[in-house]
Amino acid sequence: MKKYNSIELLIKLQADVRQMILEANYLQSTDPGILLQQPVAGKWSVIQVLEHLNSYGNYYLLAIERSLLQNKPSTGAFKPGWIGDYFTKLMKPGENGRIAHKMQSPKDHRPHSHPDAFPVLTTFLEQQHYLLELLERAKAKNIGGIRTPISISRIIKLKTGDVFRFLIAHEQRHFVQIENTLVAVRGTTNKYPATLPVM
C-alpha cells in the first residue's frame, strides 16, 4: 500500500475540497430552475445530488470531529487500510472524469424530490468549510491511529485518513454527475469557466 506524508495528503484533500467550493459557488449563480430540474424522471436534479452529499456530511463531519478529539499526535506518515483504500478507489472518478462503477445509493441517503435550491447549496458550502477546518485540525493528529465509525455500520471503524479520502472522493464522483446533469438539462455544456484549459 502506498504510504503518504500525512500533511501533504491533507493539503491535497483541502485543495480538492476548495475546488468543490468553487464549483458550488458557480452553482449559486446558476438559475435555480435549472438546478431543480431532473434530467429525466427518476434521475436526480443537481440539488438532489447536493442533498444526498449533505446527508453524508451530516453524519461524517460530526463523527470525524468526535474522533479527532482523541489525543494521538501526528506521526507524519499515513498508510491507508485496505478497505479504506478500496472504497476510495471505487468512488474516485478517473482522470478523464469518467465513473467506472455505477452504484445505488442506500435508502436513507436518497434525497427528497423537490427541495428548495438555496438552503441545500448553503448547507453544502457550510459543510465544505467545516470539512476544511477538520482537515486542518487533522494535521496535528495521527490520522492512521485514530479511527472513525462509518455510516453503513457504526461497528466498523476505519482510519480517519481513509474516511477523509473516500468522503471527498464520493463528493468528486457526484460532481461529475452534477456536470453531466447540467449538460442534460441545458442541452449544452457551460462548464465552470475557471476550469477551462489555459489558452
Partner 1 sequence: MSDTILLRQFITAAYPLKDEEMEALLTGWQPFECRRKTIITAAGETERYLYFVLEGIQRGFYIGNDKQEATIVFTYAPSFSGLADSFLTQTPSKYFMETLTNSRFLRKSYKEIEALMNQYPNIQRMVLYLTGFILKGVLERQIELQCFSAEEKFKALLKRSPHVLQIIPHKYLASYLGIDATTFSKLLGTVRL
**Is the Cβ–Cβ distance between 63 and 133 less than 8 Å?**
no
Count Cα atoms within 13 angstroms, Cβ side, for 125: 14
Q: For residue 140, state whether it binds partner 1 (rule: CB under 8 A).
A: no
Torsion of CA 198, 91, 184, 44, to 10 degrees: -140
Q: Inter-axis angle of helices 160-186 and 117-138, to 10 degrees?
A: 150
Instruction: Write each residue from 96 to 125 as x if it is in contact with partner 1 (CB under 8 A), else as -, in one continuous string.
Output: -----------------------------x
Q: For residue 26, state whether it binds partner 1 (rule: CB under 8 A).
A: yes
Q: For residue 33, state whether it binds partner 1 (rule: CB under 8 A).
A: no
Number of residues this chain uses to bind partner 1 (CB under 8 A): 20
Q: CB of residue 35 vs partner 1: minimum separation in angstroms? A: 13
Q: CB of residue 31 vs partner 1: minimum separation in angstroms? A: 9
Look at residues 28, 32, 177 and name the one whose alpha carbon lies nearest to residue 115: 32
Q: For residue 193, state whether it binds partner 1 (rule: CB under 8 A).
A: yes
**Is the Cβ–Cβ distance between 89 and 166 less than 8 Å?**
no
Q: Using CB under 8 A as the criterion, which residues of the chain lie in contact with partner 1 when the complex forms? A: 15, 18-19, 21-22, 25-26, 28-30, 125, 129, 132, 190, 192-195, 198-199
